[in-house]
A and B are shown apart, each in its own frame.
Chain A
Amino acid sequence: MAPTSAPAIRPGRKHQPSSRRRDSGRVALLFILPSLVGFVVFYVTPLVRGMYQSLTQYNILQPPRFTGLANYTALAHDSVFWNALKVTAEYVAINISTQMIGALGIAVLMERLTRSIFIRCALVFPWLVPNVAVATISLFMLDRTVGVVNHLLTAVHLPAQYFYQSPHEAIATVALVNTWRNVGYTALLLFAGMQLIPKHLYEAAAIDGAGEWRIFRSITLPLLRPILALVLAVSVIGSFQIYDTVSVVYQTPLPQAYVLYYYIYNAAFGELRMGYASAMAVVLFVILAAFTFAQLKLLRASRSDLA
């Protein structure tokens, strides 16, 4: 589960315990014990182990053999890895750009037209559905022979497409299918952010005769920027972890759809190269950490807008 929400983070509101309260360390330990055990066993230990494994040759069956930075050197010369990085970057670029623009549009539509719960439910519903289900439905609807989408295309005299099976369309198809799944949810987050913009600003702009586009550009967009930045960052991090769709749709992904998560998974559990897979996971972790860092910078830079 990728995490966190902007509105929930309120720095400076850290709880100040009253001076009468004394240290209750032993009681506190009882309260956090289950979570702490879970954290140490399933988060900290794997992290340390994963880092160590990335420095070893390890096929699960025999004990790991320390090889220093050999995995990382091999990664640098692995064209499949570089291709996977490139494909993942393409996926993220297509998925995020369409998703953010679409979500912004939908959020504005909802903001200007309706507060209907039904409409919000309808738009967010695809996000509730398992990725596996979305992948299966899209595989069927986009099929070359029995798919309804190609039927509609040919009905209006457009050429039928191969979508998932086309080297040119594969990654865009995966990206757009996931955009379809997530765009309503992202729109809902932005919509919630728009509710924080004072209504009198819109009224004042309307009195001044500003049109919809002008209002959007001069009021909505600038005041939404902090939330936009946060939603963008969280979406990008989630987007890098594309796996489920690719794993269901392809028995073996086309090179043009061979994403990094799939390569890591396949190296670890298909080829039993656990050390090598761990090294790739470390690289992914570093990339995501860099994005998170950039996100914090971005947020700080834009915090003043709502003040």
Chain B
Amino acid sequence: MTTTRAPSQPATASELAVPLRRRPRVRPGRAAAWALLAVLIFVSLFPFWWMIKEALTHNKYLFGDFGLWPQHPTLVNFERVLGLATPAEQQAEFPNEVIQLKFLSNLVNSVIFTTVVAIGSVAFSSLSAFAFARLRWRGRDLIFGAFLAGLMVPPIFGVLPNFILMKELGWIYTWQGLIAPYLLMQPFAVFFLRQFFLNIPDEIEDAAKIDGLGPWGLFRQICLPMSRAPIATLLTIQAVFAWNEYLWPQLITTTGHAQPLTAALGYFVRSSPTVARDWTAFMAATAISVVPLVIFMLIFGRRLVTNLQFAGGGK
């Protein structure tokens, strides 16, 4: 289960580099299959190139330009959406902007939100996953069952009463209000980590106990180090999830000081009049939300795609 690779087919450098050279004799069926796969990869990635290209284009060149490269490439759209452009530059590109663009602070907010939620939810979930997997106590299976049932509740169901709760607490527009529902508990994370803690052999636990380790020592010195890989995978999943979250952030922060990128981008697009849209700024703002994921993919891509069968998370 830990690998998608059959033992008889180890990875080789050449395999990763130029797959076409793997089999010297190319039958027509295989060639067609490769062509189809190439088309699929193109369809999968081309929109992102198109986004970058338009983000690097002046608004005045936008209309009727369907070339693959930006004419007169410029960073002015990024400066505009980040709130770094001069009024004159903004005037030249798009005079009637409806909202004040401040994606630099939105970007910072998203980084903070993502980091806090990913680390917090994994930390707290690993604590309870340990209690569910390695401790024996009354009511354990009952509470775990309830946690699992929490997976089934559609998010909108929680959003309505949670909003009222935040209103009662005076947490609307605040960081606390944004983060609290995600921080302490993610049923999926508990479920995910419990599976790994369960698989730690009893013998190791018994040996640790003979060495005088209590539950905390067992958790800290045995379970966590032995589950480093799944914890890293879970962190990446939770981080991507938090980065992409939209419904709750846009509701609770609206356009306030804690507004993350997705909420800001959604608001930007929604509030622009359909007859005159600042497309190049849209694409620059979108690129700001996508480029960190490209970097993320370059670093964690292998871990992510080889471990995805564990997760099944998503929306």
Contact = CB atoms under 8 A, between A and B. Distances in A.
B207 interface: no
Contact of A195 (B4, B54, B134): B4
B185 A38 contact: yes
Contacts of B143: 32, 36
B171 interface: no
Contacts of B30: 113
5 contacts: A1-B315, A143-B279, A251-B274, A269-B163, A281-B156
Most buried by B among A35, A212, A240: A35
B19 A119 contact: yes
A304 interface: no
Interface in B38-54: 40-41, 43-45, 47-48, 50-51, 54
A193 interface: yes
A50 B157 contact: yes
Contact of B44 (A29, A122, A151): A122
Q: Enumerate the 4 nearest inter-chain pairs by beta-carbon distance, A residue then B residue, closest first.
A: A38-B184, A38-B185, A192-B309, A5-B312
Contacts of A3: 151-152, 187-188, 191, 312-313
A244 B44 contact: no
Nearest to A268: B160
Interface in B1-53: 1, 3-6, 8-9, 11, 15-16, 19, 22, 29-30, 33-34, 36-37, 40-41, 43-45, 47-48, 50-51
A143 B131 CA distance: 53
Given A46-B160, A195-B4, A34 B124 contact: yes
B132 A234 contact: no
A241 B156 contact: yes
Interface string B181-192: 101111110111
Contacts of A138: 47
Interface string B119-142: 000001101101111111110100
A24 B131 CA distance: 9
B167 A60 contact: yes
B99 interface: no
Contacts of A180: 43-44
Interface string A47-89: 1011001000000100000000000000000000000000000
Contact of A53 (B15, B161, B251): B161
A235 B186 CA distance: 19
A39 B186 CA distance: 8
A128 B297 contact: yes
Interface of B: 1, 3-6, 8-9, 11, 15-16, 19, 22, 29-30, 33-34, 36-37, 40-41, 43-45, 47-48, 50-51, 54, 62-63, 66, 124-125, 127-128, 130-138, 140, 143, 146-147, 150-165, 167, 180-181, 183-188, 190-192, 195, 198, 202, 206, 214-215, 219, 240-241, 243-244, 246-247, 251, 261-262, 265-266, 269-270, 274, 279, 282-283, 285-286, 289-290, 293-294, 296-297, 301-302, 304-306, 308-315
Contact of B51 (A5, A43, A137, A282): A137
Given A43-B158, A141-B50, A284-B154, A247 B266 contact: yes
A113 B37 CA distance: 9
The main secondary structure of chain B at its interface with chain A is: helix
B82 to A, nearest CB: 16
A254 interface: no
B123 to A, nearest CB: 8
Contact of B192 (A8, A151, A288): A8
Interface in A82-121: 106, 109-110, 112-121
A128 to B, nearest CB: 5
Given A53-B161, A264-B156, A39 B47 contact: no
Nearest to A61: B167
B251 A269 contact: yes
Contact of A8 (B138, B140, B265, B310): B310
B314 A274 contact: no
A113 B150 CA distance: 40
A129 interface: yes
Contacts of B308: 124, 185, 188-189, 192
A121 B305 contact: yes
Residue of B47, B151, B286 ringed by the most chain A CB atoms within 10 A: B47
Contacts of B310: 5, 7-8
Contacts of A22: 136
A9 to B, nearest CB: 8
Given A128-B297, A192-B4, A6 B312 contact: yes
A47 B50 contact: no
A49 B166 CA distance: 14
A32 B127 contact: yes
Contacts of B127: 31-32, 34-35
B152 A35 contact: no
Interface in A219-248: 230-231, 234, 238, 240-241, 243-244, 247-248
Identify the interface centre among B5, B29, B314: most chain A CB within 10 Å of its CB: B314
